[in-house]
A and B are shown apart, each in its own frame.
Chain A
Amino acid sequence: MKRINGMSLFCAAVLLCMTAATSLAQSYKVAVSQIVEHPALDATRQGLLDGLKAKGYEEGKNLKFIYQTAQGNPAIAVQIAKQFVGEKPNVLVGIATPTAQALAASTRSIPVIFTAVTDPFGAKLVKNLAHPEGNVTGLSDLSPVVQHVELMQEIVPELRTIGVVFNPGEANAVALVDLLKKTAMSKGIQVVEASALKSADVQGAARIIASKVQVIYAPTDNTVASAIDALVGVANQVKIPVVGGSTSFVKNGAVASLGFDYYQVGVQTAEYVEAVLKGTPVSELPVKFARGSDLFLNQKVAKRLGITFPDAMLKRATNLK
């Protein structure tokens, strides 16, 4: 009797140890650093969290999800990076350019996955987009600017002038506006720029160009994204449409948008985070460009502005409001 007891006790102990060991081995730590909180980047983070959950990594169960925002201050982003590296997570995720750079500069061993970075090559995050050499890879959210210009031409026939409000202090936005100018020039369209250094400047900038242009393009610029309502408000006053680089802008009153839902960008980022957690070396994960070009149309606003969408466009739309 005593012996059996001892045996069962031993078995129980072994079982306990095993379960403890497996639960320990399955606990992952993912640290996310985000430059600033605004709807598009927040949606990216939520998408990442939900994407990981769908793959069986649930916060609180087998996943520790650490999150910090630098509140727009690169020096804080650097401090967050140091703090995160010290906590030795399995994967570091940098949302937007400066946070990704701060993480990449702080460690050469922990894998860094960036997301919502428009120009990862220009930001020197990777030397080779197809074969990242270091510990850094991720997702670029380069907007399909060429398609955006075509979209604007569809909405405003005989398009001659495009207005754009952007923050010249933001690397992402500058890359997009350069691309916009190049594309527009090849089609003989003039681009009128207005710069907004802070979200509080967006309204004023929009006012300056609103009466001079036929359509306003809202790029995926963090400053513009924070004040998209102000931009749309001004455009509504002079009855010109706003075409957005991010589909989330349509909710705020942009007439149309072709792009990706930032939530989906987050979900796609989760795929790379999972791959790294499963042990795939970073060098085998080429830099991806976010896919899923969704066309969002806002019929309510279009009606108010007297715009009728062509049937072909309505058919293409993935979301109608």
Chain B
Amino acid sequence: MSLFAFLGTLEIGLIYGLVALGVYLTFRILDFPDLTVDGSFPMGGAVAATAIVAGINPWVATILATFSGAFCGLVTAFLAVRCGILHLLASILTMIAAFSVNIRIMGRPNIALLGEPTIFSPFESLGFDPLHVHLGVIFILVVCSSLFVIRLLSSDFGLGLRATGVNSQMVAAQGGNIGLFTYFGLALSNGLVAFSGALFAQSNSFADVTSGVGTIVVGLAAVILGQTLLSGTRIWVAVSAVILGSILYRLSVAFALSSGMFGLQASDLNLITAVLVALALVIPKMKNTVQCKMMSGRLPDSD
């Protein structure tokens, strides 16, 4: 893999790290399987791109995008908490509705940002290499977002949020408002995902309504991959793990893309990616079982 490809992979991995962070908040913390992300990711891109083309400052556009995602999360939470629709279905409803809304927002399925100002352009105009600028800005934004989430989850409010996912009855018994925690958690999660979508659109110069397809799969794979490889109960470990997981997932894709020499064809990409991720999940376990077997094998000797 060339350095350019590696840095590019790192960049996409970091952008999707925000998606992983959002998915971590819903799946792991709130225990709320949320598929809204497939709609809020492209919505972030759609809102940011539409606003930028309309002449709004890219940073303001990015913030608007984040709020649009948070709104998606609120809709899902409303459907689940207020209307009593099953979590999974509530999020699917928001997700499919978001597709139509995204086309409404943009007025068409694809908005190009080539040549438009983005949050990266002030740094690019200073003469830095665009690739380095993108990577640097995104790295800082991802670190800030992670710190925010860690800080939040460590607070008293965050404790309530975490408790809601573990034992909601206990939270209710303690006088906590489960509905409030669900609303907030979903809004934050989808806000992060839309933020990621806004960064993706600006970094790659286009917002496309189809870019949401499979966001949840990538996010979940990143969360599970990261937490398997870097397990720990501390919040900062878990947050770093999911971001790392996202980068590793993208590296698997990049590796799959460069596997042409083994007689594999381009359409095998998804299969190879799946196999690589599965291997990454299984190998650490195999190492453990092998170690256990060796240990148990030695026991009779020591007798």
Which chain A residue shows the least CB distance to B265?
A67
- Return chain B residues, CB-CB under 8 Å to A104: 114, 205
CB-based contact A69/B113 at 8 Å: no
Q: Does A78 contact B (CB under 8 A)?
A: yes
CB proximity of B216 to chain A, nearest CB, Å: 13
Asked if A86 meets B99 with Cβ closer than 8 Å, knowing A79-B253, A101-B112, the reply is: no
- Return chain B residues, CB-CB under 8 Å to A80: 257
Q: Does B2 contact A (CB under 8 A)?
A: yes
CB proximity of B126 to chain A, nearest CB, Å: 16
Render B1-17 as a binary contact track against A, CB cut-off 8 A, 1 for contact: 11111111101100010
Instruction: Tell me the residues in window 54-81 of chain A with beta carbons closer than 8 Å to chain B beta carbons.
Output: 66-69, 71-76, 78-81
Q: Does A277 contact B (CB under 8 A)?
A: no
CB-based contact A74/B210 at 8 Å: yes
CB-based contact B214/A73 at 8 Å: yes
Q: Does A285 contact B (CB under 8 A)?
A: no
What is the bound-complex CA distance between A170 and B8, given in angstroms? 26
CB proximity of B253 to chain A, nearest CB, Å: 6
Partner among A68, A73, A101 whose Cβ is within 8 Å of the Cβ of B204: A101
CB-based contact A71/B110 at 8 Å: no
- Return chain B residues, CB-CB under 8 Å to A174: 108-109
Render A116-143 as a binary contact track against B, CB cut-off 8 A, 1 for contact: 0000001111010000000000000000
CB-based contact A68/B257 at 8 Å: yes
What is the bound-complex CA distance between A169 and B213, given in angstroms? 12
Q: Does A189 contact B (CB under 8 A)?
A: no
CB-based contact B254/A69 at 8 Å: no
- Return chain B residues, CB-CB under 8 Å to A123: 110, 112, 206
What is the bound-complex CA distance between A67 and B265, given in angstroms? 9
CB-based contact B205/A69 at 8 Å: no
CB proximity of B260 to chain A, nearest CB, Å: 7
Partner among B3, B115, B214, B254 whose Cβ is within 8 Å of the Cβ of A79: B254
CB proximity of A296 to chain B, nearest CB, Å: 28
- Return chain A residues, CB-CB under 8 Å to B267: 37, 69, 71
What is the bound-complex CA distance between A106 and B2, given in angstroms? 14
CB-based contact A105/B114 at 8 Å: yes
Instruction: Tell me the residues in window 239-297 of chain B with beta carbons closer than 8 Å to chain A beta carbons.
Output: 250, 253-254, 257-258, 260, 266-267, 269-270
Q: Does B103 contact A (CB under 8 A)?
A: yes
CB-based contact A171/B110 at 8 Å: yes
CB proximity of B143 to chain A, nearest CB, Å: 21
CB-based contact A171/B254 at 8 Å: no
Q: Does B218 contact A (CB under 8 A)?
A: yes
What is the bound-complex CA distance between A141 and B270, given in angstroms? 29
What is the bound-complex CA distance between A74 and B41, given in angstroms? 12
Q: Does A197 contact B (CB under 8 A)?
A: yes
What is the bound-complex CA distance between A68 and B260, given in angstroms? 9
CB-based contact A169/B114 at 8 Å: no
What is the bound-complex CA distance between A309 and B79, given in angstroms? 56
Q: Does B208 contact A (CB under 8 A)?
A: yes
What is the bound-complex CA distance between A197 and B258, given in angstroms? 31
Given contacts A37-B267, A171-B108, 12 further A-B contacts (CB under 8 A): A68-B266, A69-B269, A71-B267, A71-B270, A74-B206, A75-B12, A78-B200, A80-B257, A82-B4, A86-B1, A102-B204, A124-B112
